[in-house]
Structure 1
Amino acid sequence: MTVVLPARRDARRDDLLRRAAPPRAPMLVWAAIFLNVLAFSGMPTLVPIPGSLGQLVTQGSLVVAMVLALLVNPGMVVRPNLVLVLLSMLAVVALVVSLHNEYLLGSTFRACRLIAFTCVLWLLTPWWGRSDLPLLRWHLTCLRVIVGSVLVGAVLAPGSAFSFEGRLSGALWPIPPTQVGHYAAVLLGCTVVLWFGGVVSGRTLAVTVLAAGGALVLCHTRTALLAIAVGLTLAGASMFLGHARVRRASALVGVLAVLGATAFAPWLLDWFWRGQSAQDAAQLTGRTKVWTAVFAMDRPRLEELFGSGLSNKSFQGLPIDSHWVATYLDQGWFGVFVSLAFLLVLLLLAFTHPRGVRRAVALFLIGYCAVASVSETGLGDASPYLLDLFVAASLLAVPSGRTQT
């Protein structure tokens, strides 16, 4: 893979991309890699989809993404960056460790997938730092399509859409409620931050609030709600002094929050508890029991340091539902420290980046993923969360001073 320093060889890089990539062609790469992380679950859908076909579509889209990435960037021109270096280290070590896993085939396949996924991301780095924010726009387009499909499925097949404990899920494509909440929250949060900076219109914001906000409420995902609150707080704080719209919106939200909490307290509490007891909620729906069992497991010293290889993020048949616990199990303390370094590097880049919409959106995505990582997996594997952070890194990149096609 050829590494071209942006400060020295901008002209060569731009010429390569201008000749190779027609307008909007890289968006097809992003759509393909997004489809790859759109996990296929066994939930009921309006039209039954065989599991083998669903897996073929999602896993095969990574091959399509790789081919398309090579077509739009045939010179394999990349922008050096520490973020993807850390991710590449994680992927390579995961492959080495997975070769010694008890379930060799599955673990090695996941590691190879992560390496291919990382290579596609490397090939998209020439589109970092552009003033037209291409990666963010592509990301939001994919999120709109997904959230729109979930809402359409809820209208056409409400029985299938609310079959999981009354929580909204995908009825056209089987998307679990937790992921519906993730997609809706990221779409809503990014749109709000863009509206803060005057990048999108009030009409766009209103439609997004109705669609994504409605999906977020109907899927009953507390993690996504808490994460979007933290992310918007970070983004709003970074724009508070320079944008009067942020100050007015913050005051209005504060007043509405007090009035809403007073008027709708019983309904809000019912939504929050989801029919659970206080003990169940304190244990995060049983998650903490699994986490305790993972850390209490007796492991060889080498496995504590580097893990046992990539797994399906479960322990004794139970989902782990925590990036940090799952990473400790799969990649040991090495994976945990690399993941932490990954987030800290992004935060450092954000705090040293000039104030503005780019930094605010990046801070929202970083804050959201950091909070969600406590009870969701994905930061150290091919997942939508990793795509969120890749978009954040692209927003914080130094502009090259030229425009690619």
Structure 2
Amino acid sequence: MTVALPATRRGAEVARGRDKVRTRAGRLPKLVLIAWAALLFNVLTRAGDGTIIPIPPAISSAMAQGSLLVALLFALLANPRLVMRPTLFLVLLTVMAVVAFVVSLHSDFIAGSTFRGARLLGFIACLWLLTPWWGRDDLLLLRCHWACLWAIIASVVVGAALGPGKAFANDGRLGGTLWPIWPTQVAHYSAVLLGLTAILWMCRVITGRHALLAALVTAAVLLETHTRTALLALVVGLVLASASLFVGHARVRRASVTAVVVGLGVGVSVAPQVLSWLMRGQSAQQASALTGRAEVWSSVSQLTRPLVKDVFGDGLSNKSFNGASIDSSWVSTFLDLGWFGIALEVSFLLVLVLMVVTRARGPRRALALFLLAYCVVSSFTETGLGDASAYLLDLVVAASLLVTPPRLPA
């Protein structure tokens, strides 16, 4: 990812309160990149057995779970002096991880719950080890995230080309087949990559050719997943990010007007097809019940538990209730960590909101605002904010964009 801001304009950009981004982004440090890739691989939830090359569940689980140890190892190699930058966002995540582990020790499913608690502690520890690379002018963690998302999307596209039957086996929705990835996860990665691409192009950080290629690939993948939540979160995130850039960037103003005009024209001309895509063959009743999610949420809300479990939860679970997926970060957090967990989630999201509000207008703020908005919208129908997940990694990237540059080069 190369930066296109001319050096002669950098002083003027800073004078107007915008962010300074290096004109040349060098190669990604291998140790940091491997650590980040291992963290992301660790949270790739296995989606059944529909892979081109059959992978036994035990082996795939061991690979994903073992990647956390790889991430910790390479993070320690990259940061042997254990230098860590203080950040309230990670402090709150650490409190959540410690409470989750302690509560999990008293869970009815102690083995699985305690293992998830220990995994979350290791996940957060690895994030602390990577804090020296937060706030850099070359957007290092964002570029690592960008590269890993490209690798995931590329694997999905290659898998669809080699085995389209398996790739679209989930009710015609595109999933991963080289590595088993749920369509909703594929939608998440493609939507985030598409949104980041659009913002970086509007801020003249990447070239139009690179942006066009990324937009075509990610938009096609997103549409083939038929995931409404990811599409809505993408639109909301882009609207808010564009609004934050609207005054100071002419390209943003032109792109926003063009998007509105084209969107209205396309929406009117192909309205039946758009409605069909949104409904996914469901009835109005199924759609209004959020594909059965509302029933599960209602069952969780009617659950009777002792007061201590209402406050601190039952310990980390597999995000299901009576065999049905919960599919909501807020409901699953209430089940796992109680009202205390809900309060922590609200707190670290508010910390990010305050960081966005106090940050100077520019690419960093817009990128962080997009990631924050995307995760908040998705949290209502996707799990992840209360456990080790790709959503937490998105928020970590957002936080890394909002902090001040490190005093000493990493």
Q: Which residue pairs with 1:63 in the alignment?
A: 69
How big is the shift at 1:297? 0.6
How big is the shift at 1:23? 3.8
How big is the shift at 1:403? 2.7
Hey, what's the Cα distance between the residues in 1 that align with 2:31 and 2:351?
30
Confirm or deny: 8 A CA contact 2:31 2:77 kept in the other structure: no
Confirm or deny: 8 A CA contact 1:184 1:213 kept in the other structure: yes
Taking only aligned residues, the RMSD between alpha carbons, in angstroms, comes to: 0.9
Matched, 1:210 2:216: yes
Hey, what's the Cα distance between the residues in 1 that align with 2:293 and 2:158?
32
Q: Which residue pairs with 2:388 in the alignment?
A: 382
Q: Which residue pairs with 2:347 in the alignment?
A: 341
Q: Which residue pairs with 2:170 in the alignment?
A: 164
Matched, 1:192 2:181: no
Q: Call closer, same or farther: CA 1:374–1:157 in 2, change over 3 Å.
A: same
Q: Which residue pairs with 2:86 in the alignment?
A: 80
Confirm or deny: 8 A CA contact 1:365 1:389 kept in the other structure: yes
Confirm or deny: 8 A CA contact 1:148 1:211 kept in the other structure: no
Matched, 1:279 2:285: yes
How big is the shift at 1:225? 0.1
For residues 97-112 of structure 1, the aligned pairs below 5 Å read 97-112=103-118
How big is the shift at 1:34? 1.0
CA deviation string 1:196-254 (max 9, x = no partner):
11001101111111111000000000000000001001100100000000100010001
Q: 1:90 aligns with which of 74, 83, 96?
A: 96
Hey, what's the Cα distance between the residues in 2 that align with 1:66 and 1:40?
21
How big is the shift at 1:128? 0.5
For residues 108-123 of structure 1, the aligned pairs below 5 Å read 108-123=114-129
**What is the one-letter code of the residue matched to 2:224?**
L
Confirm or deny: 8 A CA contact 2:31 2:75 kept in the other structure: no
**What is the one-letter code of the residue matched to 2:377?**
V
Q: Which residue pairs with 2:357 in the alignment?
A: 351
Confirm or deny: 8 A CA contact 2:244 2:366 kept in the other structure: yes
Q: Which residue pairs with 1:3 in the alignment?
A: none
Q: Which residue pairs with 1:249 in the alignment?
A: 255
**What is the one-letter code of the residue matched to 1:169?**
G
**TM-score, structure 1 as length reference:** 0.94
Confirm or deny: 8 A CA contact 1:280 1:286 kept in the other structure: yes
Q: Which residue pairs with 1:14 in the alignment?
A: none
How big is the shift at 1:60? 0.4
How big is the shift at 1:28? 1.1
CA deviation string 1:238-294 (max 9, x = no partner):
000000001000100011111101111111010000000111111100101100110
Deviates more, 1:147-156 or 1:116-125: 147-156
Which SS does the other structure have where 1:398 is aligned? coil
How big is the shift at 1:24? 3.3
Q: Which runs of 5+ in 1 are unaligned?
A: 1-21
**What is the one-letter code of the residue matched to 1:197?**
C
Hey, what's the Cα distance between the residues in 2 that align with 1:321 and 1:34?
20
Hey, what's the Cα distance between the residues in 1 that align with 2:135 and 2:304?
46
**What is the one-letter code of the residue matched to 2:270?**
F
How big is the shift at 1:26? 1.1
Q: Which residue pairs with 2:153 in the alignment?
A: 147
Hey, what's the Cα distance between the residues in 2 that align with 1:302 and 1:131?
46
How big is the shift at 1:380? 1.4
Count of paired positions:
383
Matched, 1:306 2:346: no
Confirm or deny: 8 A CA contact 1:43 1:176 kept in the other structure: no
